[in-house]
Amino acid sequence: MKKIAAGMLALASFIFSASAQETPNMKRFHHPHKHGMMMQELNLTADQQQLLKANRDSYQKQWLELNKNENITVKESRDKKSALRKEQKEKMMAILTSEQKNKLEQLKKDHESKREAMAAKRLDKMKTKLNLSDDQLAKIKSGNEAVHAKAKAIREDDQLSRTEKKEKLMALKAETQTNLKSILTPEQISKIEELKKNRIEKRQAK
């Protein structure tokens, strides 16, 4: 039973990680790696780069001040941070030209298409390794799409605190695990545990 639970958790983590990531709090518009790479492709002028840096620095300073403010409630802090994120994004977009905004949107769409292609490739490998039926694969794909949509909605909900988002994402991960139990056979779950064990042994051997 423990092996089955571990196997389900391993697969649920695999599917969930392809669809959801923990909220990066103030880094949301503070140039995480992916967003920073996109911005580099916009051919920003020196003036634009300076303005964006000033915008980010101001945002970070205000965010840290909110974290230090013990005279406001959690809800007030959350509302102020939500407004701050919105203001920072609006200022960032105001710095870009129409062409740069269009290119940024296209880059985001391209990134999403690549993510979907990679997820499909991983699922195809899973089908081979676990000998999934077409019906099982279709159900897992459908569930994966639903998880991605739900996770995205949680991450983009500015009315939720970081803790609340984390709790909802963890609950979504548990839901993914439960759904998988109704799709896979005990033999397939055992195979997942075997594959997981092999990966660990290979890493330790390096």
171-203 pLDDT, tens digit per residue, is 998 888 888 888 999 898 888 888 888 888 888
Q: Provide the pLDDT for residue 10.
A: 52
Residue whose C-alpha is closest to residue 80's, from 166, 22, 163, 159: 159
Q: Provide the pLDDT for residue 60.
A: 92
CA distance 146 to 141: 9
Query: Is 164 within a domain?
Result: yes
Q: At 139, phi and psi to the nearest 5? A: -65, -40
Average pLDDT, the chain: 81
Query: Is 10 within a domain?
Result: yes
Query: Is 44 within a domain?
Result: no
Q: Provide the pLDDT for residue 91.
A: 93
Please say whether the beta carbons of 60 and 117 come within 8 A.
no
- Whether the predicted pLDDT of 169 surpasses 80: yes
- Whether the predicted pLDDT of 31 surpasses 50: no
Q: Which residues of 163-173 are buried (b: 16+ CB within 10 A; e: fewer)?
A: eebeebbeebb
Counted domains in the chain: 1
Query: Is 77 within a domain?
Result: no
Q: Provide the pLDDT for residue 98.
A: 94
The confidence band for 118, taking pLDDT boundaries of 50, 70 and 90, is confident
**What is the rounded average pLDDT of the residues 93-121?**
90
Query: What pTM does this model have?
Result: 0.61
**What is the rounded average pLDDT of the residues 150-172?**
86
Query: Is 149 within a domain?
Result: yes
Query: Is 169 within a domain?
Result: yes
Domain of residue 148 covers: 2-24+118-205
